């Protein structure tokens, strides 16, 4: 690469890393932030509101793609993502300054949600701008390599946020971190913003945009031109269903769901789980550049669809292997202890709750949720008239509570007693006791503590998941750029990308938990990414064109 090309990649990538860092901070600290800004509510309710505020950032990403995509196609790539990074950096910094609920009341959570939505809007515009800018600077035949550096930014932003949180937490201590130290990672973003702005102000507009502008070939209505006619709209649909949807679920599974699975399903402590994921990210991130470069030679589609197919075929054995290594006692209990819920089918709901606002209070639902949260492998036997539900744990049978007969304090007292009885029966049957470290569970005490016989094999398995992420994500930017003409490229590629990653990927945790609770299989939630990945393989293989040799500077590329 020339010096100028390196500067283009550095400027675009550095700013995008900082944007992802800002965006992920909230997700990592959602529980602590909930205690600060929703303190007037009970703990369970405030956690719901905190997660809703987190979800708001994902939900508005496609709208950011439309707003800033249109702006980028009208006024230019450079000026647009200068605006997006300003919005993201200032919003994140202000979160660190926001007074708590106890100081200014309901205004605090309202401002928090507004700032989260601004972050989502900014991210919706940032990614497309960075990718298009780099792609339009890349020499013909090297777009995959150039844009793959942008693809590393989401992973590096996640890694940076995890490391900053861990460092600050270890310096100030748990109590002070929960009280005020959580603000420090947000406040540090002002320095990242200053660096990003300084770098980006030195940049020139992309050659393709300048050429198009000089020729007077700009679109006057990028949104309607990109999505209002079938000629261009079909490529947005194909990009979403034949590339991005599968890429999104593989990406979220390999990074976010793996972390969720370790902490929530396998009960690995937060520090250990973060260290395992951090090492996997460090080892696997080079794959973005490797597969981006390879896509210049053999094509984007082949690599992306192969990654989706490998994910679909291997997810079940991989996650079962993670359980066996990380929490062998839990794995043994799942294999050896038969647990059955007996209930009336009408008393049981499908507990899909993406917004966190639904309530599932029937005896069957409470029993399912309790067992699912305890990572119990169970089956459901439906029998008419069995209300309240019963749960058989080995030779022990426990009757749940009948919600319609509970009043006043009993509503809390009886479920608590039921929970206690179930936990004691599970412990007697071999399940690790709730709230206590399981015997033999993986534990890491410091950054280099992963180099032992139990932790390091886990790191290697998690690295495999990250490699799958790099296969689907490394070439995706170049593939999307090549689908759309220059005049509507920013708008056209941004919307399917953010619908796929913001909605298909963002729905994974809620959907996976609902599927686990419904079936009693701790791995059943993996069917969500598997089915979507396989659908993407089928649609992509049949309908998505391979454009890796396309010259995006040619006159016909802007028609």
Q: What are the residue boundaries of the structural domains of the chain, listed by start?
A: 3-326+445-558, 336-428
Q: Which residues pair with 427 in a beta bridge?
A: none
CA distance 192 to 180: 21
CA distance 344 to 350: 14
CA distance 267 to 375: 9
Q: Are 488 and 558 in contact (CB under 8 A)?
A: no
Q: Are 295 and 144 in contact (CB under 8 A)?
A: yes
User: 10 Å Cβ neighbour count for 29?
Assistant: 23
Angle at 27 between CA 56 and CA 361, to 5 degrees: 70
DSSP type of residue 332: H
Q: Which fold has domain 336-428?
A: Glutaredoxin (3.40.30)
Contacts of 469 (CB under 8 A, 6+ apart): 155, 250, 251, 254, 255, 284, 287, 307
- Show the DSSP H helices in 337-441 as ranges: 363-373, 410-428
Contacts of 461 (CB under 8 A, 6+ apart): 318, 321, 322, 325
CA distances (Å), 249 to each of 241, 316, 469, 504, in order? 12, 15, 9, 7
- pLDDT score of 434: 66
Global confidence as pTM: 0.83
Which of these, 240, 254, 144, 263, lies nearest to 532 by C-alpha position? 240
Q: Are 250 and 467 in contact (CB under 8 A)?
A: no
- Both tokens of 308, joined, read 């989706």
- Both tokens of 367, joined, read 């029993």
CA distances (Å), 36 to each of 26, 75, 102, 180, 352, in order? 13, 40, 8, 9, 27
CA distance 108 to 274: 29
Contacts of 224 (CB under 8 A, 6+ apart): none
DSSP type of residue 372: H
Q: Are 496 and 244 in contact (CB under 8 A)?
A: yes
Q: Are 73 and 490 in contact (CB under 8 A)?
A: yes
Q: Are 54 and 27 in contact (CB under 8 A)?
A: yes
Angle at 244 between CA 239 and CA 245, to 5 degrees: 115
What b/e sequence results for 30-42 when a residue is b if at least 16 CB atoms lie within 10 Å of its CB, and e otherwise?
Answer: bebbbbbbbeeee
Instruction: Give Cα 469 to chain centroid, integer Å.
Output: 12
Task: Show the low-confidence residues of the chain (pLDDT under 50).
Answer: 44, 408-411
Q: Could you say which of 3.20.20.70, 3.10.20.30, 1.10.10.10, 1.20.1250.20 is the CATH number of the domain covering 3-326+445-558? A: 1.20.1250.20
Which of these, 483, 476, 490, lies nearest to 77 by C-alpha position? 490
- pLDDT score of 75: 78
- pLDDT score of 438: 74
- pLDDT score of 411: 47
- pLDDT score of 52: 64
Dihedral over Cα of 413, 417, 422, 424: its sign: positive
Which of these, 375, 451, 452, 367, lies nearest to 415 by C-alpha position? 367
- pLDDT score of 409: 46
Which of these, 391, 343, 338, lies nearest to 364 by C-alpha position? 343
């Amino acid at each position: 690469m020339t010096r100028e090309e390196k500067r283009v990649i550095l400027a675009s990538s550095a700013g995008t890393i900082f944007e992802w860092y800002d965006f992920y901070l909230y997700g990592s600290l959602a529980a602590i932030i909930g205690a600060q800004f929703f303190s007037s509510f009970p703990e369970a309710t405030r956690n719901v509101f905190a997660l809703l505020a987190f979800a708001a950032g994902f939900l508005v990403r496609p709208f950011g793609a439309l707003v800033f995509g249109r702006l980028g196609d009208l006024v230019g790539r450079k000026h647009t993502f200068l605006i997006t990074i300003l919005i993201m950096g200032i919003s994140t910094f202000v979160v660190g300054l926001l007074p708590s609920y106890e100081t200014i009341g309901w205004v605090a959570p309202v401002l928090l949600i507004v700032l989260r939505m601004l972050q989502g809007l900014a991210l919706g515009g940032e990614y497309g701008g960075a990718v298009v800018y780099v792609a339009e600077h890349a020499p013909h035949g090297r777009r995959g390599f150039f844009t793959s550096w942008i693809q590393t930014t989401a992973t590096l932003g996640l890694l940076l946020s995890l490391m900053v949180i861990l460092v600050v937490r270890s310096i100030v201590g748990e109590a002070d971190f929960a009280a005020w130290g959580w603000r420090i990672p947000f406040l540090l973003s002002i320095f990242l913003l200053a660096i990003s702005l300084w770098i980006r102000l030195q940049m020139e507009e992309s050659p393709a945009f300048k050429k198009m502008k000089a020729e007077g070939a700009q679109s006057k209505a990028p949104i309607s031109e990109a999505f209002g006619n079938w000629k261009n709209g079909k490529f947005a649909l194909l990009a979403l269903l034949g590339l991005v949807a599968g890429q999104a679920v593989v990406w979220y599974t390999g990074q976010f769901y793996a972390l969720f699975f370790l902490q929530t399903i396998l009960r690995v402590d937060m520090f250990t789980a973060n260290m395992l994921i951090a090492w996997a990210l460090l080892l696997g991130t080079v794959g973005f550049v490797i597969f981006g470069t390879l896509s210049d030679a053999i094509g984007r589609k082949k690599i992306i669809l192969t990654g989706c197919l490998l994910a679909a075929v291997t997810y079940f054995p991989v996650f079962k292997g993670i359980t066996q290594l990380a929490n062998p006692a839990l794995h043994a209990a799942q294999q050896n202890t038969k647990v059955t819920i007996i209930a009336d089918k009408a008393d049981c709901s499908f507990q899909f709750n993406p917004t966190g606002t639904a309530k599932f209070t029937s005896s069957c639902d409470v029993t399912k949720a309790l067992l699912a949260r305890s990572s119990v492998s169970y089956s459901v036997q439906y029998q008419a008239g069995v209300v309240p539900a019963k749960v058989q744990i080995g030779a022990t049978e426990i009757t749940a509570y009948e919600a319609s007969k509970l009043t006043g304090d009993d509503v809390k007292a009886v479920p608590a007693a039921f929970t206690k009885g179930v936990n004691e029966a599970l412990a007697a049957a071999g399940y690790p006791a709730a709230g206590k470290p399981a015997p033999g569970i993986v534990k890491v005490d410091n950054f280099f503590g992963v180099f032992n016989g139990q932790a390091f094999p886990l790191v290697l398995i998690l690295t495999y998941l990250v490699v799958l992420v790099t296969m689907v994500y490394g070439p995706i930017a170049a593939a999307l750029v090549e689908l759309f003409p220059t005049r509507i490229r920013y708008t056209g590629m941004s919307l399917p990308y953010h619908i796929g990653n913001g909605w298909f990927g963002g729905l994974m945790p809620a959907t996976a938990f609902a599927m686990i609770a419904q079936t009693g299989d701790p791995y059943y939630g993996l069917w969500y990414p598997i089915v979507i990945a396989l659908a993407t393989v089928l649609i992509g293989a049949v309908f998505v064109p391979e454009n890796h040799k396309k010259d995006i500077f040619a006159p016909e590329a802007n028609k």
